């Protein structure tokens, strides 16, 4: 009897599974993307496969369907019900997805931690109807520092999913003291270099207690950072070949510079506690006090600055296009005057006058302009407007010159990207 009920529940689960995918994820989210929280996740249009979640002693990963979406909020639902605590339950997780670039997204989990599962999930007895607000039960607005990065697999090493590190991390410190969250364990004699291409913790770092070291190599890339108040939160990518046990692929740094001292804390995966600051972090987070600053460096590839450069480039293109357009208009006007004179000559000559091969070549060269002549020729207002545009023509010429001056400046800064002052 029990088995029959179980089987019938399973079949309904399968039925629900087939009609479950009611929404699709953003088009770019296909294939493998690496979450700073969950590691590699495999997306297709409406399914995330093998999302790691310890639902029970035997279930450590589940497939999730896109169940319902509203704007950037996606409610995902496990494709199969899980037996947990003697019940068949469906797992729901609410995600708020933000696009950062084609190879990088960030998201917030909108579901609170289920204390029995110890993960962000809403378990609901199977076949129970729940609404989005039931599963998206975390208080809004979500603490802005609790973002999770999602980067397209492989795009760290191509550089496309990397971000330049925030200014807090762009300095060299020769004295770095590392402590655990409650200051009971200390490791001195470390140094930090944020001015070479990657971030690097060196010296005795690798020899510190394992609870004070989240990376074997001490080499990191910055993935995404946000400044909230006077604390900057950065999710970094640990460049270790493999991670296990006490090391993590991604961690979140909260940093605050005070004078020439940098206070930083680090928490595995993402900054899950809104009260993490440069000097306060929950266990198992670690704390850094970095002093003896020997140099600072500014990496110019930050989002805002590159946005500004893109703006300048677009502006330059528009100005050049405008100048070219004006040039063409003026050229056509000039050609038009010549044509008018030529037409005068032609009408005076015989209509059946045979064209020479030279004239054919010429007519081919100007064939782009020739068909446009009739509309322009009788169009007096256009010719007049050309004349009124004349005073403006000196203006666009100096502007492209300005733009050209910007390019070398841009390149100059880009090549001096990691140049330390």
Ligand X SMILES: *[C@@H]1O[C@H](CO)[C@@H](O)[C@H](O)[C@H]1NC(C)=O
Which stretch in 12-20, 116-124, 275-283, 318-326 sits in contact with ligand X by CB under 6 A? 275-283
In the shown chain, the binding pattern of residues 30 to 49 toward ligand X, with x for contact by CB under 6 A and - for none, equals --------------xx-x--
Q: Write down the least CB distance from residue 54 to ligand X, Å.
A: 21
| CA gap 331, 302 in Å, rounded | 43
| Least spacing, CB of residue 273 vs ligand X, in Å | 5
Beta-strand ranges (E) seen in 168-281 are 171-180, 186-193, 199-203, 219-228, 231-238, 250-258, 261-268
The H-or-E segment that residue 33 falls in is: strand 31-35
Binders in 355-374 for ligand X, by CB under 6 A: none
Instruction: Choose one: 68-76, 104-112, 230-238, 272-280; the region binding ligand X (CB under 6 A).
Output: 272-280
Q: CB 338: neighbour CB atoms within 10 A?
A: 10
Q: Which is nearer to ligand X, 231 or 319 (CB)?
A: 231
Q: Is 219 in the site for ligand X (CB under 6 A)?
A: yes
Answer for which of 115, 241, 244, 356 binds ligand X (CB under 6 A) is: 241
Cβ-based nearer residue to ligand X, 180 or 386: 180
Q: For ligand X, which is the closer residue by CB, 220 or 309? A: 220
Report how far residue 68's alpha carbon sits from residue 21's, in angstroms, rounded to the nearest whole number: 8
Summary count for the chain: helices (H), strands (E): 7, 20
Alpha-carbon distances, residue 260 vs 29, 101, 107, 364, 394 (angstroms): 41, 33, 33, 70, 50
Specify the residue, 216 or 400, whose C-beta has the smaller distance to ligand X.
216
| Closer by beta carbon to ligand X, 267 or else 309 | 267
Only one residue has tokens 């990518």, namely 237
Strands 171-180 and 186-193: antiparallel
Q: Residue 153: name the closest of 49, 61, 243, 43 by CA.
A: 43
Q: Does 275 bind ligand X (CB under 6 A)?
A: yes
Query: In the numeric block, which tokens belong to residue 320?
Result: 């050049």
- Minimum distance of ligand X from residue 310's CB (angstroms): 26
Residues 44-73 that bind ligand X (CB under 6 A): 44-45, 47
Considering only 17, 198, 333, 399, the residue that binds ligand X (CB under 6 A) is 198
By beta-carbon proximity to ligand X, the closer residue of 204 and 280 is 280
- Could you say which residues in the range 90-149 bind ligand X, by CB under 6 A? 129
Q: Are the beta carbons of 281 and 267 closer than 8 angstroms?
A: yes
Q: The tokens of 228 are what?
A: 């909230």
Q: How many residues touch ligand X (CB under 6 A)?
A: 14
Q: Are 164 and 197 in contact (CB under 8 A)?
A: no
Residues that bind ligand X (CB under 6 A): 44-45, 47, 129, 157, 197-198, 219, 239, 241, 273, 275, 280, 282
């Amino acid at each position: 009897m029990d088995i029959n009920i179980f089987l019938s529940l399973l079949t309904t689960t399968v039925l629900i599974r087939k009609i479950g995918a009611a929404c699709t994820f953003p088009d770019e989210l296909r294939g493998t993307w690496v979450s700073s929280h969950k590691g590699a996740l495999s997306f297709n249009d409406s399914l995330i496969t093998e999302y790691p979640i310890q639902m029970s002693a035997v279930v450590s990963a589940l497939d999730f369907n896109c169940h319902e979406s509203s704007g950037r909020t996606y409610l995902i639902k496990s494709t199969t019900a899980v037996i947990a605590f003697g019940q068949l339950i469906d797992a729901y997780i609410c995600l708020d997805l933000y696009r950062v670039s084609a190879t990088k997204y960030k998201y917030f989990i909108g579901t609170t931690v289920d204390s029995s599962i110890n993960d962000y999930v809403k378990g609901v007895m199977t076949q129970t109807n729940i609404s989005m607000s039931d599963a998206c039960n975390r208080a809004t607005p979500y603490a802005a520092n609790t973002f999770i990065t999602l980067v397209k697999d492989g795009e760290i090493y191509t550089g496309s999913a990397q971000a330049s590190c925030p200014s807090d991390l762009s300095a060299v410190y020769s004295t770095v003291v590392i402590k655990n969250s409650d200051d009971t364990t200390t490791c001195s004699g470390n140094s930090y270099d944020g001015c070479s291409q990657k971030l690097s913790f060196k010296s005795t770092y690798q020899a510190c207690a394992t609870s004070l070291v989240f990376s074997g190599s001490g080499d990191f890339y910055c993935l995404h950072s946000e400044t909230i108040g006077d604390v900057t939160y950065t999710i970094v990518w640990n460049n270790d070949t493999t991670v296990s046990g006490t090391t993590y692929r991604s961690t979140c740094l909260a940093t605050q510079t005070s004078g020439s001292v940098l206070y930083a804390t680090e928490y595995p995966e993402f900054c899950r506690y809104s009260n993490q600051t440069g000097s306060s972090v929950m266990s198992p987070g670690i704390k850094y006090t970095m002093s003896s600053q020997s140099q600072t460096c500014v990496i110019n590839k930050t989002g805002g600055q590159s946005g500004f450069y893109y703006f300048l480039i677009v502006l330059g293109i528009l100005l050049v296009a405008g100048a070219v357009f004006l040039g063409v208009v003026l050229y056509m006007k000039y050609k038009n005057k010549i044509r008018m004179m030529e037409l005068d000559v032609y009408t005076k000559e015989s209509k059946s006058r045979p064209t020479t091969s030279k004239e054919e070549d010429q007519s081919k060269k100007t064939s782009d302009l020739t068909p446009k002549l009739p509309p322009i020729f009788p169009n007096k207002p256009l010719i007049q407007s050309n004349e009124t545009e004349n005073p403006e023509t000196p203006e666009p010429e100096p502007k492209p010159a300005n733009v050209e001056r910007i390019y070398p400046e841009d390149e100059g800064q880009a090549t001096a990207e990691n140049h330390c002052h």
